[in-house]
């Protein structure tokens, strides 16, 4: 069966992230094209509204003067927050020393003429420089009519700054510049740590991008020249030296080696590759030098298709994420309402303006829905990239999340539970003048121009035995029964058992065949000369996969077009729950419907064109990657390896991923139940009161906890 190389028909971008320069962004803006960016990750610039691929926040419209703020890499964004943090840290020390409250706590008195104006000046630098990312985000979110985290933080620090400034210039009350400075300091630190965590969560995708080497050795006649990988095109011949990465998908035309495909398939064992075998771009060559004929360029390579799938999956919204989005919007509204209500309650109850403003600021900061906004996207980013590395390509996020609900898993037989490749299991000659090898050579002579699986099996056996195949002429197909031709003057036929029954030719006395075997008979001049048995062997991993499913209370059903004897034999050997045999393509779909109507949540796994309708009908469609493009296009999930154990891994990983999402959502919302009342001051009379800085710490910690929890996701 032809190895599946294309996951989709669309040509993806080569890189994992589209890095736009400041110049390009500025030029585009000048031409009047509206651009959108992430308030937290200004390096993300897109042509349309949507979600930030790094953190899941809503993208906001850019303004022309802001385009120069953007960075060309995620590293630049982290560096920006780090720089702002250190600057604010240096300024926070004198701000705190000049603050009356801090001096009161430390029982010191330190002032000089104009000290309050120095305090105001230093705090202003902290506010405008350190708070700039939040102020910019506030403007962007309000323009987009989509208030979120940046709105809350920007509003909180603005209220604190304006009130404190008013006290400097005559308003009765005590400033809290020191709280403003510490609030901004902690918010910058939290975002810096968070961005590093987010970068870690998306690093797996970057590793996929880096798998493709920059250069390739192009064979041009007798000369070899180094060219850029992206310049390779179909039918180019390249040399891959020992230890080098494969630069493009293709077929080995000379040499043999062992290839490490673990980064693409999750299979740690090196795979032997010989002349005629297909290779995947990004694989690492072993000790042998090989020549490869390129089957398609870099942009259409299997690896690029995987990267595109991962990106699309990370951008796609699942039901869980939609719930999180709605919750984040509600939390934003709650924060604003709760903040204002807190201010009014305290102020109207007789507390001074400074205290009331401080409570409002703390409530608003602590209720920022940032952790909630990141809860699902971070898990999505981690899970899709990890699954791609382990041979599980998620095309449909909802299908992946729903894999935890599967109660019945339907398997196609050929190519899924079995190898999908017929191998010669027995050669029996009943002719006194023909040896087994001679009988095999005659059969091969007729089958050498056929692509039928039986022909492939016979020819492979000839190759393994290093036998020469005689020439055949005057080919003639015996409809539905076999083939005939002339070989060395003899009339040779390779036919099915049905032909013998039709011609009333008796089978040998010692003839026997396993239920799983397919038998062809060889006739020489209409005399039975012998027979060849072929079997599609069951994958060694199939039995273990079925056992694991049963341990997890998931039924396994065999669905095949093969005859009942073969189906029953395979199902019994593997210990499957049930089987359906002799099923036509349209009937496969009907069988899936029957299972669904009986209350089962059905997953279907298959590899052929005939499986596509059933894959589409199933609650979760899983295509085996070695199969057809149509099957892969129809399914929500693609298995790169034709390994049934990967199906089990998929279900288990789906459950783990969903658990991570729920854990993050619970944490992101749950801490507010405790934190919000504390921020509002409900335990004030007991001496428990959260400062704005403490609120910022809790908010930042909640976000970092969510990021760390997502980063701990593993494929079992």
564 vs 546: CA distance, rounded Å: 20
Whether 568 and 515 have beta carbons less than 8 Å apart is answered as yes
- pLDDT, residue 628, reads 44
- pLDDT, residue 442, reads 94
Most confident among 239-243, 297-301, 319-323, 627-631 (mean pLDDT): 239-243
- pLDDT, residue 198, reads 52
Which helix (H) or strand (E) element contains residue 413? none
Indicate if the pLDDT at residue 640 is higher than 60: yes
pLDDT band at residue 74 under the 50/70/90 scheme: very low
- Among residues 634, 712, 699, the alpha carbon closest in space to that of 669 is found at 699
- Among residues 534, 539, 599, 591, the alpha carbon closest in space to that of 560 is found at 591
The predicted-structure confidence for 672-710, as pLDDT tens digits, reads as follows 777 788 888 888 888 887 777 676 677 767 777 887 888
Lowest-confidence region among 19-33, 111-125, 236-250, 533-547: 19-33
CA distances 99 to 82, 112, 119, 179, 213, Å, are: 25, 12, 8, 10, 57
CA distances 28 to 14, 15, 42, 44, Å, are: 22, 21, 16, 14
Mean pLDDT across 95-114: 77
Indicate if the pLDDT at residue 190 is higher than 80: no
- pLDDT, residue 59, reads 66
248 vs 294: CA distance, rounded Å: 6
Mean pLDDT across 589-602: 92
Question: What sign has the CA pseudo-torsion 451, 452, 455, 456?
Answer: positive
Of residues 26 and 584, which shows the higher confidence score? 584
- pLDDT, residue 195, reads 64
- pLDDT, residue 550, reads 92
Indicate if the pLDDT at residue 121 is higher than 90: yes
486 vs 422: CA distance, rounded Å: 25
Of residues 9 and 582, which shows the higher confidence score? 582
What are the two backbone dihedrals, phi and then psi, of residue 510, each rounded to the nearest 5 degrees? -90, 15
Indicate if the pLDDT at residue 420 is higher than 60: yes
- pLDDT, residue 67, reads 30
For residue 486 the two structure tokens come to 């002339």
- pLDDT, residue 148, reads 65
Most confident among 465-469, 667-671, 705-709 (mean pLDDT): 465-469
Mean pLDDT score across all residues of the chain: 76
pLDDT band at residue 68 under the 50/70/90 scheme: very low
**Helix-then-strand count for the chain, H and E:** 24, 25
pLDDT band at residue 576 under the 50/70/90 scheme: very high
Mean pLDDT across 576-588: 81
Of residues 208 and 248, which shows the higher confidence score? 248
- Residues with Cβ within 8 Å of 146's Cβ and at least 6 positions away in sequence, in order, are 58, 60
- Among residues 265, 208, 264, 212, the alpha carbon closest in space to that of 240 is found at 212
134 vs 154: CA distance, rounded Å: 5
For residue 396 the two structure tokens come to 């449909």
- Side-by-side strand order, sheet with 284-285: 271-273, 257-260, 284-285
286 vs 361: CA distance, rounded Å: 61
pLDDT band at residue 436 under the 50/70/90 scheme: very high
Indicate if the pLDDT at residue 425 is higher than 80: yes
- Among residues 216, 220, 213, the alpha carbon closest in space to that of 232 is found at 216
- pLDDT, residue 608, reads 57
323 vs 125: CA distance, rounded Å: 39
**What DSSP string runs through 478-522?**
ETTTEEEEEETTEEEEEE-HHHHHHTTPPPPTT----TTEEEEEE
Indicate if the pLDDT at residue 240 is higher than 90: yes
Sort residue 391 into left (φ over 0), alpha (ψ -120 to 50) or beta. left
- pLDDT, residue 184, reads 83
479 vs 616: CA distance, rounded Å: 33
CA angle at 568 for the pair 566 and 569, rounded to the nearest 5°: 65
- pLDDT, residue 239, reads 93
- Side-by-side strand order, sheet with 527-538: 418-429, 527-538, 517-524, 490-495, 482-487, 473-478
Indicate if the pLDDT at residue 14 is higher than 80: no
pLDDT band at residue 401 under the 50/70/90 scheme: confident
Mean pLDDT across 51-61: 58
- pLDDT, residue 389, reads 74
Compute how many other C-beta atoms are within 10 angstroms of the C-beta atom of residue 344: 12
For residue 324 the two structure tokens come to 């999180």
Of residues 518 and 506, which shows the higher confidence score? 506
Query: Of 249, 325, 412, 607, which is the active-site residue?
Result: 412
- pLDDT, residue 344, reads 93
The predicted-structure confidence for 480-507, as pLDDT tens digits, reads as follows 678 899 999 999 999 888 788 888 888 8
pLDDT band at residue 546 under the 50/70/90 scheme: very high
Which residue is it, tokens 């300091």?
A: 185
- Residues with Cβ within 8 Å of 641's Cβ and at least 6 positions away in sequence, in order, are 265, 266, 267, 391, 625, 626
Mean pLDDT across 423-439: 91
- Among residues 338, 356, 328, 197, the alpha carbon closest in space to that of 700 is found at 197
Whether 46 and 54 have beta carbons less than 8 Å apart is answered as no
For residue 270 the two structure tokens come to 């090196």
Which residue is it, tokens 């400075």?
A: 181
- Among residues 105, 129, 100, the alpha carbon closest in space to that of 115 is found at 100
The predicted-structure confidence for 340-391, as pLDDT tens digits, reads as follows 899 899 989 988 887 888 888 888 777 766 667 667 777 877 787 787 777 7
CA angle at 199 for the pair 193 and 204, rounded to the nearest 5°: 145
Q: Is 28 designated active site? A: no
- pLDDT, residue 531, reads 93
Lowest-confidence region among 314-318, 590-594, 658-662: 314-318
Indicate if the pLDDT at residue 208 is higher than 60: no
Q: Could you write out the three-class secondary structure of 307-354? A: HHHHHHHHHCCCHHHHHHHHHHHHHHHHHHHHHHHHHHHHHHCCCCHH
- Among residues 418, 500, 423, the alpha carbon closest in space to that of 455 is found at 423
pTM for the complete prediction? 0.56
Angle between helices 177-201 and 370-389 (to 10 degrees): 20
Mean pLDDT across 282-287: 84
- pLDDT, residue 77, reads 64
Mean pLDDT across 630-649: 72
Of residues 599 and 623, which shows the higher confidence score? 599
422 vs 639: CA distance, rounded Å: 22
Question: What sign has the CA pseudo-torsion 612, 613, 616, 619?
Answer: negative
Mean pLDDT across 133-137: 84
Q: Return the percentage of the chain with pLDDT > 70, whole number.
A: 74
What are the two backbone dihedrals, phi and then psi, of residue 626, each rounded to the nearest 5 degrees? -80, 0
- pLDDT, residue 65, reads 33
Angle between helices 149-168 and 132-143 (to 10 degrees): 120
172 vs 152: CA distance, rounded Å: 26
Mean pLDDT across 48-52: 69
Lowest-confidence region among 33-47, 59-73, 194-208, 424-438: 59-73
Indicate if the pLDDT at residue 430 is higher than 70: yes
């Amino acid at each position: 069966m032809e190895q599946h190389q294309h996951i989709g028909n669309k040509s993806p971008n080569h890189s994992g992230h589209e890095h736009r320069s400041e110049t390009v962004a500025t030029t585009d803006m000048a031409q009047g094209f509206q651009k959108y960016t992430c308030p937290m990750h200004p390096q993300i610039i897109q042509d349309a509204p949507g979600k930030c691929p790094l953190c899941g926040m809503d993208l906001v419209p850019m303004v022309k003067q802001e385009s120069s703020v953007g960075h060309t890499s995620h590293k630049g964004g982290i560096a920006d927050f780090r720089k702002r943090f250190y600057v604010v840290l240096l300024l926070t020390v004198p701000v705190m020393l000049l603050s009356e409250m801090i001096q009161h706590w430390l029982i010191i008195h330190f002032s000089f003429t104009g000290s309050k104006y120095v305090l105001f000046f230093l705090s202003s630098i902290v506010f405008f420089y350190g708070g700039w990312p939040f102020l910019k985000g506030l403007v962007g979110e309000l323009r987009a009519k989509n208030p979120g985290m940046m709105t809350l933080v920007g509003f909180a620090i603005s209220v604190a700054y304006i009130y404190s400034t008013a006290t400097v210039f005559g308003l009765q009350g005590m400033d809290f510049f020191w709280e403003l400075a510490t609030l901004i300091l902690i918010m910058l630190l939290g975002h810096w740590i968070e961005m590093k965590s987010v970068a870690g969560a998306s690093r797996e995708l970057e590793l996929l991008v880096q798998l493709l080497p920059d250069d390739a050795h192009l064979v041009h006649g007798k000369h070899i020249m180094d060219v850029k990988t992206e310049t390779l095109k179909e039918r180019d011949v390249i040399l891959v030296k020992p230890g080098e990465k494969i630069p493009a998908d293709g077929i080995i035309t000379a040499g043999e080696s062992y290839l490490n495909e673990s980064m693409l398939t999750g299979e740690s064992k090196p795979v032997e590759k010989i002349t005629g075998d297909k290779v995947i771009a990004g694989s690492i060559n072993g000790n042998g030098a090989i020549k490869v004929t390129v089957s398609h360029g870099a942009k259409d390579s299997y690896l690029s298709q995987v990267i595109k799938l991962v990106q699309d999956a990370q951008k796609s919204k699942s039901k869980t994420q939609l719930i999180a989005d709605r919750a984040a919007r509600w939390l934003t509204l709650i924060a604003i309402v709760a903040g204002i209500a807190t201010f009014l309650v305290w102020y109207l109850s007789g507390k001074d303006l400074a205290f009331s403003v401080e409570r409002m600021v703390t409530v608003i900061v602590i209720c920022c829905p940032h952790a909630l906004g990141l809860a699902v996207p971070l898990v999505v980013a981690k899970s899709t990239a990890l699954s791609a590395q382990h041979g599980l390509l998620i095309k449909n996020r909802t299908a992946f999340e729903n894999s935890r609900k599967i109660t019945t898993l339907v398997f196609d037989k050929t190519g899924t539970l079995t190898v999908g490749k017929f191998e010669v299991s027995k050669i029996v000659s009943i002719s006194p003048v023909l040896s087994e090898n001679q009988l095999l050579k005659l059969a091969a002579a007729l089958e050498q121009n056929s692509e039928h699986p039986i022909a492939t099996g016979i020819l492979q056996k000839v190759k393994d035995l290093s036998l020469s195949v005689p020439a055949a002429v005057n080919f003639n197909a015996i409809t539905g029964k076999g083939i005939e031709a002339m070989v060395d003057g003899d009339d040779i036929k390779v036919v099915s058992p049905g032909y013998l029954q039709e011609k009333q030719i008796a089978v040998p006395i010692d003839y026997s065949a396993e239920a799983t075997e397919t038998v062809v008979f060889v006739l020489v001049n209409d005399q039975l000369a012998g027979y060849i048995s072929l079997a599609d062997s069951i994958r060694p991993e199939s039995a273990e996969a079925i056992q694991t499913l049963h341990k997890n209370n998931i039924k396994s059903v065999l669905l095949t077009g093969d005859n009942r004897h073969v189906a029953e034999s395979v199902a019994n050997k593997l210990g499957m729950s049930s089987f359906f045999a002799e099923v036509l393509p349209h009937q496969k779909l009907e069988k899936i419907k029957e299972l669904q109507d009986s209350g089962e949540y059905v997953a279907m796994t298959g590899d052929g064109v005939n499986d596509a309708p059933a894959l589409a009908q199933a609650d979760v469609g899983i295509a085996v990657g070695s199969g057809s493009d149509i099957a892969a296009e129809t399914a929500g999930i693609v298995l790169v390896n034709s390994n049934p154990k990967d199906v089990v891994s998929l279900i288990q990983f789906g459950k783990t991923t969903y658990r991570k999402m729920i854990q993050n959502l619970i944490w992101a919302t749950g801490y507010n139940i405790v934190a919000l009342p504390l921020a509002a001051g409900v335990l004030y009379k007991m001496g428990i009161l959260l400062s704005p800085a403490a609120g910022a710490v809790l908010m930042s910690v909640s976000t970092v906890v969510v990021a760390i929890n997502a980063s701990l996701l593993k494929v079992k």
